[in-house]
Amino acid sequence: MGDELPTLLGLRTRLRPWRAEDAPAIEAACQDPEIQRWTTVPSPYGPADAEEFLAHRVPDARARGGAAFAVDDLTTGELAGSTTLLHVERGVGEVGYWVAPWARRRGLGADALDTLASWAFSQQLAHRLELQIEPDNVGSRALAVRADFLPEGLLRGRLLIDGEPRDAMMHARLAPPGV
């Protein structure tokens, strides 16, 4: 993978490299109680947190063999979320995402996740992609299934959120044969 991330087009979304001017939209999205409940974003979430995400978390994903993308709604051009290949180790990648509250229930998250997975497989970055989702996060689990990430089982105490071990449902998607 070169130094520059490509821009990827899904059916409903555009995945693009993050920009410094995205910080206010990141901060606005991360005020959402659901994002704070189900992800590891800081709570409360302020401008310095958005800047830290752009300055450190985005490049950290690249350094670990992954890629972090901003997700734009193709219809409105508005930032709709984030999707990240967090890291790849021995051909297995871990994926994370969040969808801004104003962009939910329109298929944007599933389209972005499918677009990211298709790209990762086509670039031979991984042969398996995994998502770890808390069992009670019904919306995120349904989104994962719509993007062909199938549930595989419960991992007890796998996630650490706010210092508390939590269970996770493992969802995974395999590269298509021949890719």
pLDDT digits (tens, 9 = 90+) for 33-44: 888 888 888 888
* Residue 92 in this model has a pLDDT that exceeds 70: yes
- The answer to whether position 45 is within a domain reads yes
User: What's the token pair of residue 140?
Assistant: 């995120």
Q: What is the structure's pLDDT at 172?
A: 98
- The answer to whether position 179 is within a domain reads no
pLDDT, average across residues 157-169: 88
Contact 71, 17 (CB under 8 A): no
Please tell me the total count of domains within the chain: 1
The range of the structural domain enclosing residue 169 comes to: 8-174
User: What single-letter DSSP state applies at residue 57?
Assistant: I
- The model's pTM: 0.91
Query: Residue 22: which CATH number?
Result: 3.40.630.30
- The answer to whether position 3 is within a domain reads no
Q: What is the structure's pLDDT at 40?
A: 81
* Residue 173 in this model has a pLDDT that exceeds 80: yes
- The answer to whether position 123 is within a domain reads yes
- The answer to whether position 2 is within a domain reads no
- The answer to whether position 73 is within a domain reads yes
